Amino acid sequence: MEVSDPRIISHPLLSLTVVKILMRDRDSIDVFLSVEAFELFVRVAEQATHEAAACEAIKCAINSVYKRPSFVADLLATQTTYDTLFHLTSVRVIYL
């Protein structure tokens, strides 16, 4: 799924809230635990027009890598995306 996908652009906060609930419940979340999903969450956060949607996207990105050392090692190979996440977290107030 691309960030330009109308389902993501039309209802980003709703989509991200559903992802957050699925991740919290650990229900069929393998699709969210990938470098591609992390990059998608970061792009959504960058392009979000509403602060709430941007913050939810950042939380989803963080949760997609939380406590997964091998995944973080793979992610470090995509330094640009990783740097972008840290930049976004420094410019937005996030209530985790």
Burial of residue 50 (number of CB atoms within 10 Å: 0-12, 13-18, 19+): exposed
Q: Is the pLDDT of residue 48 over 70?
A: yes
pLDDT number for residue 82? 67
Pairwise pLDDT comparison (9 vs 67), residue with the higher score: 67
Residue 22 pLDDT level (bands cut at 50, 70, 90)? confident
Q: What is the mean pLDDT of residues 7-27?
A: 66
Residue 50 in tokens: 């509403």
Exposure string over 1-19, b if 16+ CB within 10 A, otherwise e:
eebeeeebeeebeebbeeb
CB 64, CB 38: distance < 8 Å: yes
pLDDT tens profile 53-88: 888 888 888 777 766 666 667 666 666 766 777 777
